Amino acid sequence: MEGWTIEQLEGKDVFVIEGQVAIPNNYSAGIVGSRFLVELRDNCRIMGIRCPKCDRCYVPPKSTCMECFGQLTEFVEVGKSGTLLTFTVDHHTTPVQTASPPNVYGIIKLDGADTGLLHLIGEVDGKAVKSGMRLEAVFNEERRGSILDIKYFRPAEAG
Residues near other proteins, by CB under 8 A: 1-4, 6, 8, 12-35, 37-39, 42-43, 47, 62-66, 69, 71, 75, 77, 96, 145-146
Residue 8 CB, nearest approach to other proteins (Å): 6
For other proteins, give the closer residue by CB, 42 or 123: 42
Task: Give least dist CB 50 to other proteins, A.
Answer: 13
Q: Which residue number, 40 or 121, has a Cβ lying nearer to other proteins? A: 40
Q: Residue 19: what are its φ and ψ, rounded to 5°? A: -175, -155
DSSP secondary structure letters along 77-127: EE-SEEEEEEEEEE----TT-SSPSSEEEEEEEETT-SS-EEEEE-SS-GG
Contact 102, 89 (CB under 8 A): yes
103-to-78, 100, 106, 110, 138 alpha-carbon distances in Å: 25, 7, 10, 20, 16
- Which is closer to other proteins, CB of 20 or CB of 100? 20
Instruction: Select 2 or 157, whichever has its Cβ closest to other proteins.
Output: 2
Q: Minimal distance in Å, beta carbon 31 to other proteins? A: 5
Task: Tell me the closest approach of the beta carbon of residue 36 to other proteins, in angstroms.
Answer: 9
Q: Do the Cβ atoms of 75 and 89 come closer than 8 Å?
A: no
Measured CA to CA, the distance from residue 84 to residue 135 in angstroms comes to 7
